[in-house]
Amino acid sequence: MMLFAPELFLLLGSLAVFFISTGRDCGKLARTAAMLTALGGTLLCLATFCMQGDLFYGAYRIDLFSQMFKLFICLGLAIVLLVGTELKGVSNRVRPEYYLFMLLSVTGLVMLVSSVELIAIFIALELSSFSMYLLVPLRDDHDGLRIQMESAIKYILFGVVATGIMLFGMSYMFGLTGTTHLAELLPRLHGMSSSPLAILAIAMTLGGFFFKLAVFPFHSWVPDVYQGASNETTAFIASVPKIAAVALLIRITSLSGIESGALVTMLTILSVCSMFYGNLVALVQTDIKRMLGFSGIAHAGYVLLGLVTLKDSGYAAAIYYIIGYMLMTLAGFAVICRVSAKGENLLVDDLSGLHKRSPLLALTMATSMFAMAGIPPFVGFMGKFSLMTEAYRAGHLALVIVAAINTAIGIYYYLSVVKVTYSAEAGQRPVVTLDLTTKALCIILVTFIILLGILPSRIIEIAGTAVKAIM
């Protein structure tokens, strides 16, 4: 029971929110239940952190690797709920359902990182994905544009295509090996490293997780969904699911055994395309959420630097970076959600004079942008440095040079946000007042972004130990 305790608690929390949603005007109660569920899930992940075992006839594995990812997924959910305390972009009438879908999505993500069998992976992925699809159209219709409906349709259609590609790849993997368990399936592909069909099977299966991580060419949904969803929903989509996506990408690539270089070549090409496309298009964005969307595509390319190495140290660097990216992103969205008066989208210029209107929010946004730009001593710098170091050690000098160039490109649009925040005049824009919870959250996020950048060794060490266990 303890092995499955975090998942059971999340399921029970979801059930509780479901019953709450049958009443009227229960938004606050549903939020309280969701927050308690997130905190309880985080505590149970800590309690089961060092446990090991298999469930459901070997389809579900609990180990240090899975529990570490579960911990940060539940922690990310708690932060998202704190970021969206007021939930300005969602009507009171549908807030209970909103929290229900968010909890179900996180339940799917938590189950996904422990799934080591193809059918279990597919079921967990779909539980997470369909719940997330439903979050997007729940945005309140302030101006009658109904952009959220267009975004939701695009999200679903692209998701269905990515799922179809993934299922096609899974069918090939099963046909080639005769099993659906990763521990048996992937090593059997080791003897087929020269077979184009084996390489194609792995590449297509990875497509479903490339979609979650927003890797080129599975990125097309990102800017529209980021812009169309409410600020709180975008904060969730931009951060938490990417943790689970990296976990599954590491599980599959670490056990693939494909040593022909085809997998490395594919990951290298996708990394380069993601970095250049994301950074170059982000340069011309004026809507801050669209800018962060294209930025997320670029960061997905940075994460692939660690996967290209096919080594435990590279995977550990990728884990460290995605955890730091979650914190950087949530810090930025904490500011967006507070500055937005009625849950509307913000332009970069809407942050003008924020250092006078709310010094703490200005500091938080600056920290987020500096970290994403890769400026020391923040976690973004140490994350990029670790990824580039591991890629260089693995012999990918050209890829490291490309990543360094892209980091320089990204500095321009990240620092343009900081420039507007601290240099532009506020004009008629109102002062932003903060409650105690928001102040505490901003201080905590800024502190951890700095601490992880200064003291990265412990988390990289734990990540490396976890990866060695699954390899």
Cβ 116 vs Cβ 60: under 8 Å: yes
Q: How many Å apart are CA 399 and CA 311, to the nearest integer?
A: 16
Q: How many Å apart are CA 8 and CA 236, to the nearest integer?
A: 22
**What is the token pair recorded at 320?**
């460290």
**What is the token pair recorded at 400?**
């490291």
The dihedral through the CA atoms of 156, 161, 166, 167 has a sign that is positive
- Written as one string, the DSSP assignment of 85-126 is SS-TTB-GGGHHHHHHHHHHHHHHHHHHHHB-BHHHHHHHHH
Between the CA of residue 61 and those of 34, 43, 53, 430, what are the distances in Å?
Answer: 26, 19, 6, 52
Is pTM beyond 0.75 here?
A: yes
Residue range 110-126, pLDDT digits in tens: 999 999 999 999 999 99
Per-residue pLDDT of the chain (471 residues; tens, 9 = 90+): 888 999 999 999 999 999 998 888 788 899 999 999 999 999 999 999 888 898 888 889 999 999 999 999 999 999 999 988 878 888 888 889 999 999 999 999 999 999 999 999 999 999 999 999 999 988 887 665 678 888 889 899 999 999 999 999 999 889 888 888 888 887 777 777 667 888 888 888 898 899 989 998 888 899 999 988 888 999 999 999 999 999 999 988 887 655 557 888 889 999 999 999 999 999 998 889 999 999 999 999 999 999 998 888 899 999 999 999 999 999 999 999 898 888 788 898 889 888 888 899 999 999 999 999 999 889 999 999 999 999 999 889 999 999 999 999 999 999 999 999 998 887 788 888 888 988 999 999 999 999 999 988 889 999 888 888 887
The dihedral through the CA atoms of 460, 184, 61, 53 has a sign that is negative
SS3 181: strand
